[in-house]
Amino acid sequence: MEYILKGGVVIDPKAGLEKELDVHVKDGRIAALGENLVAKGIETFDLQGKLVAPGFIDMHVHLREPGGEAHETIATGCRAAAAGGFATVAAMPNTNPCVDNEGVVELIKSKAQKAGLSRVLPIGTISKGQLGQEMAEIGMLYEAGVVAISDDGKPVVSSEVMRRALEYSKMYACPVISHCEDPSLVAGGVMNEGYWSTVLGLKGIPGEAEEIMVIRDILLARLTGGRLHLAHISTKGSVELLRFARTQGIAVTAEATPHHILLTDEEVKGYDTSTKVNPPLRAAEDVEAVREAVMEGLIPCIVTDHAPWSQEEKEQEYAKAPNGISGLETAVPVCWNTLVVKGGMSRLDFVARFTTGPAKALGVPYGSLEVGGTADITVIDPNMKKRVSTDTFYSKGKNSPLNGRVFQGWPVMTVVDGKIVMQDGKIREV
Amino acid sequence: MGLCAKDLLDMGQLSPEEIELILQTGKEMKTIIKRDIKKVPTLRGKTMVTLFYEPSTRTRTSFELAGKYMSADVVNISTSASSVVKGESIKDTGMTLQMMGMDLVVIRHNMAGAPHLLAKNLKARVINGGDGFHEHPTQALLDMMTIKDKLGGFAGLKVAIIGDILHSRVARSNLSGLIKMGAQVWICGPPTLIPPGLEKLGAKVTYSMEEALRGAQVVMMLRIQLERQKAGMFPTLREYSRIFGLNSQNLKLADKDCLVMHPGPINRGLELSGEVADCSQSLINEQVTNGVSVRMALLYLMLGQKGE
């Protein structure tokens, strides 16, 4: 397959490139970048006014398969990813059975290949059965193809187990992704602790439940020299602790979600369970601090924490409903609108949070438009304004608190390995 | 004039005028309860259900009698003897009741927001009969009716609400209603049982019983749940009672004719000494009667006026 993407502004943070250029794709690779590439007999796409970026990477999604097929499958999750502009997603291992052995890794890889859309990078568990007690077979998982290990969904409560995991995984290029939460302090909480939890009579979760684990893991990273990545940072305190790590020279990467840089805990008013997420939507000052940390690059990755749920699961009492937001199909416009249109972030920095940031955190060879490299491309129409409609989601999970809101800056093309998997918001089936 | 919204979910939704209307109507309803033949035909042909996911004596009975005194057909469902134990969702249970022709559902639930979930899915009207730690609006209305009956109004009153505020839906509803009507509300309890943000709601917060009681015209004591001690919120019941219990001694700090209220059921000798519970200033029994009156008023305003 061969074609030319013509007239768009190429934005490649790795090369520091921001220029109107044509992109020649051939046999799954970037064949050439240049002005006015001659396109004799080759299919051309006119991308005037669009931004042509390296394929976006979402390093934190829940595809639910195996075990949770009522909520999402790898096939439907990959459609949602492609529709949302993501060429690559990293799938969290809290499935049933969980990804603590090679067999499940193989299953995920083969299902993803069959789906043939966005690339799926499996993540393995830190501990056997995600119980937080004994290390999983990290070496064998790595050899089977996991790009990171994480007990996401649950914290590793034991500092000793976390220490050993950070140490042991050093022999692989395999970061440990920490879900920071002190369960004894969460103590059954279902939303952020503060004014709104008081008004709504819902049990609150203080920001410190996250921050205590953030600082613990930063200190364990210092102790071990392991590769630590902090999942879904949601509080001002955590941002301050990240800054502390940076000034101390402790190597830590971190991520934030679109919902944590946009929505406050006031959204819970009315008990709409689509606002129930872990970590919870926080107070305005937290949202602002996390947003600024993303803009500044202290938090180098944006992830969706895509957590689809069937309608029955979410149509319950607030305290009973499961945590999670279906985020793959809204992340790019939400962030473009919030960070670039309203926040004044540069286009290069914006693209970096979805490409070089996660590629570096995971140590994977994607996220650039180098000539000769894999042709993963995300095209954005920075001017397109559209209303979010969960009815049109490719994901099985319609659980989004953003339904009905208008955002500017939507993905209009997703290319994976040279294959156009999404065009104008529609999945192109193989 | 009736109430604006389809449902009664919290005190925040009521305007001061609506609160006045409910209290005034409650006063009229009270005359019916005092009659020998306690029955008016106002709600004949209307059907209501009390759907209680939590045990309750006074609220459920009070709603049932309120409906019956006005000739509504009343069905009581306690979830321990219903399809809920078979795992039916709250939405499906509500829909089933609606399809049988229910005009109004009173719901009591241990989780905050459950009435909102029901209200969103039903055409039938929904009254929140207490949801988790959120609100118990009919309790606040009956408390306010009791206060208004004795003191004539709310403006400038010092009302002290004392005890486990964190887990109290009664406190939240009263706080909201009383502040809206111009009272000055003091909140008092151990710091472990005081949630954040109360000042933003307009309350004054203190850990000192003396400060809370001094000059108060109304004292509302809250029930202390025995399991809170087990959850580590305070060391012992004995210590709680010594520091935050109301007795004839510290009651002297309050206004001479200070009203003593309690939503019940009381822990005699714990948050309230037996002596105070039974003293002439105590309105605990009055509250129960007003509970029926105010609920009659609500049923009338929500069901009784349309199409008459």
**A57 within 8 A of A302, measured Cβ to Cβ:** no
Higher pLDDT, B83 or A46: A46
Q: State what percent of residues in chain A have pLDDT above 90.
A: 98
How far is residue A170's CA from residue A411's CA, in Å, rounded to a whole number? 37
d(CA A366, CA B208): 62
* pLDDT range class, residue A430, cuts 50, 70, 90: low
Torsion of Cα atoms, B253 then B255 then B258 then B260, to 10°: -20
Chain B residue at shortest CA distance from A194: B196
Number of C-beta neighbours around residue A36 at 10 A: 10
Return the pLDDT at B306. 55
Task: Round the CA-based radius of gyration of chain B to a whole number and report it.
Answer: 19
SS3 A310: coil
CA of A206: which chain B residue's CA is closest? B196
The three-class DSSP label of residue A189 is coil
pTM over 0.90: yes
Sequence-distant (6+) residues with CB within 8 A of A393 are A80, A83, A326, A329, A400
What residues of chain B lie within 8 A of the CB of A196, using their CB? 197
How large is the average pLDDT for residues B59-88? 90
**Residues β-bridged to residue A119:** A88
Alpha-carbon span A288 to A278, nearest angstrom:
18
DSSP B52: E
Which among B91, B117, B172 has the least Cβ separation from residue A201?
B172
Residue A407 to residues A384, A390, B308, Cα–Cα distance (Å): 8, 14, 48
Q: Do A315 and B91 touch (CB under 8 A)?
A: yes
Contact A201 B89 (CB under 8 A): no
**For residue A93, pLDDT beyond 90:** yes
Whether residue B201 is predicted with pLDDT greater than 70 in this model: the reply is: yes
| Residues of A assigned a catalytic role | 305
Would you state the pLDDT for residue A320? 96
**What is the distance between the alpha carbons of residues B277 and B267, in angstroms, rounded to a whole number?**
10
Question: What pLDDT is stored for residue B82 in this prediction?
Answer: 76
Tell me the mean pLDDT in the region B205-232.
94
Residues A130/A100, Cβ–Cβ less than 8 Å: yes
pLDDT of residue B79: 81
Q: What's the distance, CA A146 to chain centroid?
A: 16
pLDDT of B307 above 80: no
Categorize the per-residue pLDDT at A7 as very low, low, confident or very high, splitting at 50, 70 and 90. very high
What are the residue boundaries of the structural domains of chain A, listed by start?
A: 2-51+374-427, 56-362
Q: Does the CB of B199 have a partner CB in chain A at under 8 Å? A: no
Question: Among B303, B198, B98, B253, which residue's Cα sits nearest to residue A196?
Answer: B198
Q: Which of A195, A270, A315 sits opposite B197 (nearest CB)?
A: A195
Evaluate whether A380 touches A305 at the Cβ level (below 8 Å).
no
Residue-wise pLDDT tens digits, A141-150: 999 999 999 9
The C-alpha atoms of residue A156 and residue A150 are separated, in whole angstroms, by: 9
Contacts of A200 in chain B (CB under 8 A): 112-113, 134
Other Cβ atoms less than 10 A from the Cβ of A296: the count is: 13
pLDDT at residue B230 in the model: 83
Q: How far does Cα B170 stand from its chain's mean position?
A: 5
Name the closest residue on chain B to residue A320, using Cα atoms. B111
Say yes or no to pLDDT of A219 above 80: yes
CA pair distance B264, B221, nearest whole angstrom: 9
Q: What is the mean pLDDT of chain A?
A: 97
Q: Cα–Cα distance between A22 and A257 in angstroms, integer?
A: 32
Structure tokens at B88: 């039916």
Q: Which tens digit of pLDDT belongs to each residue from A313-348?
A: 999 999 999 999 999 999 999 999 999 999 999 999
* Cβ atoms A105, A122 nearer than 8 A: yes
Residue A131 has pLDDT above 90, yes or no: yes
Query: Which chain B residue has the Cα nearest residue A187?
Result: B231
CA of B227, closest CA in chain A: separation in Å? 15
Q: Distance (Å, rounded) from C-alpha A152 to C-alpha A149?
A: 9
Among the listed ranges A263-272, A370-379, A389-398, B223-232, which one has the minimum average pLDDT value?
A: B223-232
ipTM value? 0.90
Please name the residue of chain A whose CA is at the shortest distance from the CA of residue B121: A315
What pLDDT, in 10s, does the model give residues B122-163?
Answer: 999 999 999 999 999 999 999 999 999 999 999 999 999 999
% of chain B exceeding 90 in pLDDT: 89
Gyration radius (Cα) of chain A, Å: 20
B272 touches chain A (CB under 8 A): no
State which fold the A56-362 domain adopts. Answer: TIM Barrel (3.20.20)
Chain B closest-CA separation from residue A197 CA (Å): 8
Mapped onto helix, strand or coil, the DSSP state of residue A377 is strand
Determine the residue type at A419.
K
Beta strands across the sheet bearing A86-91 = A56-61, A86-91, A119-122
Q: How many CB pairs under 8 A join A and B?
A: 64
Residue B308 pLDDT more than 50?
no
Beta bridge partners of B73: B47
Which residues of chain B are within 8 Å of residue A316 when distances are taken between CB atoms? 89-90, 117
CATH 3.90.1170.50 is held by the domain A2-51+374-427? no
Query: Minimal Cα–Cα distance from A272 to chain B, Å?
Result: 8
A241, pLDDT greater than 90: yes
Identify all chain A residues contacting B169, using CB atoms and an 8 Å cutoff. 201
In eight-state DSSP terms, residue A322 is P
The answer to whether A5 and A369 have CB atoms below 8 angstroms apart is no
Closest CB from B90, B133, B196 relative to A193:
B196
* Interface residues from chain A to B (CB-CB < 8 Å): 193-204, 270-271, 312, 315-320
Rounded CA separation A37/B30 (Å)? 88
3-state SS, A281-295, equals CCCHHHHHHHHHHHH
Two tokens at A72? 């999402």
Sequence-distant contacts of B228-236: CB under 8 A, at least 24 apart: B228/B164, B228/B167, B228/B193, B233/B164, B233/B166, B233/B190, B233/B192, B233/B193, B234/B190, B234/B192, B234/B193
Using CA atoms, how far apart are residues A99 and A96, in angstroms rounded to an integer? 8
Determine the Cα angle at A20 with ends A16 and A21, to 5°. Answer: 90
Q: Inter-chain contact A315–B117, Cβ cutoff 8 Å?
A: yes
CB contacts of B195 in chain A (<8 Å) are: 197-198, 204
Which residues pair with residue A149 across a beta bridge?
A: A124, A176
A259 vs A393: CA distance, rounded Å: 17
- The enclosing H or E element of A107 equals helix A102-115
